Each structure stands twice: as structure tokens, then as C-alpha cells.
Amino acid sequence: MTNVDKNIVNAELNPNVKKVSYDRSHLKTRIVHLGFGAFHRAHQALFNDELAASHNSDWGQCVVKLFSGADEISALRAQDHLYTVVEKGAEQTDVKVIGVVRESLHPQLDGIDAVLEKMAEPDVAIISLTITEKGYCVDPATGRLDKDNALIAHDLLDPAHPQSAIGYLVQALQIRRERGLGGFSVMSCDNVPENGQLVRQVVLDFAAQRDPELADWIGTHASFPCTMVDRIVPAATADSLAEITELLGVADPCAIACEPFRQWVIEDHFVAGRPQWERVGAELVQDVVPFEEMKLRMLNGSHSFLAYLGYLGGYQHIDETMTDAHYRRAALALMTQEQAPTLNMPAGTDLTAYAEMLIERFANPNLKHRTWQIAMDGSQKLPQRLLQPVRTHLQRGTDFPHLALGVAGWMRYVSGVDEQGQAIDVRDPMAAQLKTICDQHGLNISVVPALAGVEAIFGTDLAAEPQFIDAVTQAYTRLMTDGARAAVAAL
């Protein structure tokens, strides 16, 4: 057998690799996960894998990709659903083979019915989700289901052949209801505020459009726990995969690298049982919201700040921005002076220590997290990361120069042209609308109130707040006259 024919199953792996230590045949598919992306591989699946290894858990997974990624599913199957996670610290690198995934599905490979039947199996207790903000098909102005979304419109017309994750969830629950089975818990692991409440709302909205009695049944027989997840997991690149091949001893197209730090806070509300995640470091709580807001504002908010202003300043990766003392100081000040005061945390929470730990995580030189990647989908991320804290400052009459510069950085970024006049590949569900506004105004301060008038992002209040418009206009002016690096330094 040539080396080309070998994979993670049959190759001689390097001695330092931590291999699967448990009997995988003991696992039952009790979790179906929609969205087998980088984050899930390096986070929730890892918790489940460690639980199987250390406590003989039988909670196995079936992973599903609903849209792109059929090739990835085929590659995963070719290596018996094994894949590699590499935890890269500043001082140490650990290589682990993950074995908790036992099955995989893709509508393109297996058909829609196969996915629905798997979700409807009696043993399945949890459907977990990492489908990104836009996968929830929410109208941001109302927080309810966006019935005009093309996928939702299709699914309401043809519910037996869904395309959206929401359509799949409701149809699977309908099948279970028809068969006299119980419901399942829908566990969102995406970075959206009160993610469990959000997915509950859109699922019930969708079900009510189909049949109010179905919506009532789901409301009684399913649960929607909120979660807060935290681990920095850059997207895989050709370079990162080549490095993992060296560390592993064989190529693994499904491998992913991440930081050593991880956190998972879960609302303990499951209708059909759950793994004992607390045995491997998860926190099971009654209220996730304070932890969620802490992470969204301090980690994700500063990440977005660094992504837009770092990209405009010529930095390709977050760790590079941390080598610039001005960016490092600005990110810490954003967290401690402008984000932390807007939070309401349980007694004993040390937000200064949390902020300092985040700075060290961002500075990890072995983790190449692209500013361009974090800058994606800003229209979906800005409201909870930067704009909600701004509203708190406006109510209190306090200043928010770092938040204002972050918002101005996003406005400058979505123009689609960087400071050297090169095109920016702006990836955003609202990219076309944002580009139209930017093209009308050019790189001119008149773009600030025009973009602030986009109700789906800024609501109806911020455009009418002179303090907000003035602060962002001043920040945007500095970006235009001095550039991003000087604007950050001036803070």
C-alpha cells in the first residue's frame, strides 16, 4: 500500500498523537449535529469524545452538513469518521484523534429523507446546531422568523422537503409527533444572544405557520437550552493542514487546529436526557445570559474591533495586531473601560482578569486567525457585539470612543476598498445593500448616517442619536485622514 492510500485509520501515526482509547462500537447515535464546521469539531465534539474516553459515555454523534461540504463528508467517511484536533498553545502543541462521530449525512449524498429519518430516530435526544447567525433566518428588526427568507418561503410551501435548518427541525418534530415519539432538545451553539430562546422562537413561528397544534406540541415536548461557547478556532487553510500532516504523520482533510482554552456554559434544560458534560469541564447553569453577554461583548466585540481595524491597518492575523502595542492597549481598554461596565455578572466574576486572559489568547503566535475571516457577516454580528453596549452608554451618558471606532472601522471596511485602494472581499448577507450605500456616498462622512439608517442592523434608535452619529463620524474622519493604525494609536 502506498502512502497515498493511507489515511488516519490505517497509517502509522506519530508517537505523540493521542489516539482513540475507547470502544467506538459502544457509541449510540444520540446527538445529531447540524453544521459540521471547524468550531463544532474542535469544541462540542471534543467534549463528547473526552466523555466517552474518561467515563464510558455512549453518546455518539451523527454529523450533518445541509449545504456545501459534501466532499468533506465523503472524506470523513473514507477515514471511518475519525479526524484530528490540534491544540496549539504558545508553549505546547497537543494532537488528538477524535472518535465520537459514528455517522454522517448530506442531503446531496443521501437525500433529504435520510436526514429527517435520522433526526426522528427514537434514540436521538439532542439536535445540536452550529449554523452561524444567518442560519436561523431571523428578521433582525423583530427577532421573529423572516418569512421572506428564500429558504423559509420554500420550506413553508414544501415542508416535507426542507432546505433550511429550521425547516428540518420542524419537519423532524412533526414526524416524531405522528409516530407517537417524544420530542428532542434543540441546542444552539452559535454566538447569538440567548441562542436557545432565538431558535425556539423561529421554530415555533415556523410550526405555527404550518399548524398551530404542531406549534403547541413542540412547545410542550421539545426544549431549547441556551449555551455559551468559547474557543478560538481559525478556519483550516492549506498551510494549517500541511502542518497538521507533519504533526500527525498522514494527511487528514478534516483536521482542525485551535487554541488550548475552551469554555462551555449550558442551561440545564433537556427533555430527553443529556451527556454528563460537567464531568469534562462544562458548566451547567440555570441562566446562561450573563456569561453569554460577557463573551459576546468582551471577546467577540474586541475580536470584531481588531478584525476591521487590523485588516484596514494591514494586519492579516489577530496575533499580528497584538504585536502592535497600540492595538493591544486599545483592545484591553475597549474590554475593561467600555464593555465590562455594561455587564451584570454573578458576584465574584473578575472581568479585568478575563480581559487580560483574552489579550494573551489573542497574542498566541501559533494560532493564525485571519482578520478577514472574523470580519465576515458583520451585519449579523455588530448589533450584539458593539451596538448593544453603545446603547447602554447612551442611556448613562458615558463616552464610548473605542466602540465608536469599531463601528467606524466596520463602515470603512464594507466600502469594499482598503487604505491602499485594493478591493476587499466583503462576505456578508447584506453585502449588496451595504455596497450600494457606500457607492452612493463614497469615502465621505455622509456615509455614517446613511449606514446607521439601515434598520436591520442599527434598529430605529441609533440613527436618531446625535451623540452616536457624532462619535462615529469623528472616528470615521480620523480613519479617512490618518488611517487605521494612527486612529487606534490616537485612542
Tell whether 333 and 404 lie within a shared domain: yes
| Alpha carbon 355 to its chain's center | 20
Residues 394, 280 share a domain: no
The answer, yes or no, to whether residue 170 has pLDDT greater than 90, is: yes
The full length of the chain comes to 491
Please provide residue 448's backbone torsions phi and psi, each rounded to the nearest 5 degrees: -65, -55
Q: Which residues of 129-149 are buried (b: 16+ CB within 10 A; e: fewer)?
A: bbbbbbbbbbebeeeebbeeb
Residue 378 domain boundaries: 289-490
* Whether residue 228 is found in the same domain as residue 268: yes
Per residue in 290-347, pLDDT tens? 999 999 999 999 999 999 999 999 999 999 999 999 999 999 999 999 999 999 998 8
Q: Please give the tally of structural domains in the chain.
A: 2
How many Å separate Cα 73 from the centre of its chain?
Answer: 20
Q: What is the CATH number of the domain that holds 91?
A: 3.40.50.720
Residues of the chain by 3-state class (helix, strand, coil), percent to 5? 50, 15, 35
Domain endpoint, select from 260, 285, 310: 285
Give the end of a domain, one of 266, 285, 304: 285
How does strand 263-267 pair with strand 227-230?
antiparallel
**Do 429 and 351 have their domain in common?**
yes
Collapsing DSSP states into helix, strand and coil, what is residue 88?
Answer: strand
Tens-digit pLDDT profile for residues 354-378: 999 999 999 999 988 999 999 999 9
| Whether 426 and 477 share a structural domain | yes
* Residue 147 sits in the same domain as residue 42: yes
- Shared-domain flag, residues 44 and 79: yes
> What whole-number distance in Å separates Cα of residue 357 and Cα of residue 294?
13
Q: Is the pLDDT of residue 410 over 50?
A: yes
Question: Is the distance from CB of 138 to CB of 164 less than 8 angstroms?
Answer: no
Domain CATH code at residue 362: 1.10.1040.10
Do 110 and 252 reside in the same domain of the chain?
A: yes
Q: What is the pLDDT of residue 2?
A: 39
Output the pTM of the full model.
0.84
Confidence of residue 90 (pLDDT cuts 50, 70, 90): confident
Mean pLDDT of 450-479: 97
Same domain membership, residue 348 and residue 277: no
Residue 266's pLDDT is 97
Pair (320, 336) in one structural domain: yes
The grid coordinates listed for 321 are: 495586531
**Single residue among 285, 309, 339 that ends a domain in this structure:** 285
Q: Mapping DSSP to helix (H, G, I), strand (E, B) and coil, where does residue 402 land?
A: helix
Within 8 A by CB and 6+ apart from 384, the residues are 192, 193, 296, 297, 300
Distance CA 38, CA 21 (A): 23
Enter the C-alpha cell of residue 423.
478591493
